[in-house]
Chains A and B, each alone.
Chain A
């Protein structure tokens, strides 16, 4: 009997590891920034470059920080989700135009609509590096104390928004 049980158990253990392993997305690298203060920066605004924005201005508010670019095709996919969310007026969405040309970014927002309370531009991608951005789009949820609570790597889908991000926003806003 042992002859059959033992290989079967070994097989099941291996199968379990492989099942979990194949289900993981290797492009989702867990960010070390979760639970840490959002890195400070001061960047010019996209629409009014003479004005600046820095995350310290957002103390006391729960907000979403979405990194996007006009050259990013996946951003077009998630954009309607943000347009819808902006209409609901639940949480302010701030955008960062990442490694883009100002004209291209502005034209893209004219074409697809602008869900952002404000957009900053990170032409050289330096702030992106501070936030550990390695693929666009990426979205950060930042709490009232300025701590990063969640990082969405890749597009925000309606499922991710409803199951993960919105409940977390409610929880953080109640605090």
Chain B
């Protein structure tokens, strides 16, 4: 009797081996946060002014899934970025690398700034030469001094007020 009871009890054992369902990928908050962090710096190719993190495009969802899976596989962020760039090009990056085709993008503004400073300096110099003070001759200086020191002549002398 004791034997049967034991077998019966053993039959119940699998009931306790329930380990919960396989976790949804999105349910892992740490991974999800890391995925969103990475996806915020990536461009969605369908709606190009949206990041991969915020886009609702079908492709963006697929790519987020892909990024999640790669993270679970243990790839680091740079490897995942390389994976996407090898398929979609630098266009997916909001922070494109400096290379031949992006030189104008990266250094163009500085060239324009230098150009602007150059034009400004040139213009200021030119202006300065236009308004340069000319030396006064002695005669002119005396005339100017005389004019400045002369007591003001009142042209319309107020008449004495007589009642």
Contacts and interface: CB of A to CB of B under 8 A. Distances in A.
A131 B62 CA distance: 14
B114 interface: no
Given A29-B45, A125-B62, A130 B87 contact: yes
B62 A31 contact: no
Contacts of B89: 29-32, 132
B91 A29 contact: yes
A33 B45 CA distance: 16
Interface string B34-51: 000000000001101000
B86 A125 contact: no
Contact of A26 (B48, B62, B66, B87): B48
The size bracket of the interface on A is: 10 to 19
Interface string B66-109: 10000000000000000001111111000000000000000000
Nearest to B115: A10
Contacts, number: 41
A71 to B, nearest CB: 10
Interface string A99-140: 100000000000000000000000011101111111100000
B63 interface: yes
B28 interface: no
Contact of A129 (B46, B66, B90): B66
B65 to A, nearest CB: 9
Interface residues of B, number: 15
A32 B58 contact: no
A11 to B, nearest CB: 15
B63 A129 contact: yes
Interface in A45-92: none
Contacts of A130: 87
A134 B45 contact: yes
Contacts of B48: 26-27
A32 B88 contact: yes
B46 A132 contact: no
Interface of B: 45-46, 48, 58-59, 62-63, 66, 85-91
Given A29-B88, A128-B62, A132-B89, 12 more contacts: A29-B45, A30-B89, A30-B91, A31-B88, A32-B85, A32-B87, A32-B89, A129-B66, A129-B87, A133-B59, A134-B45, A134-B59
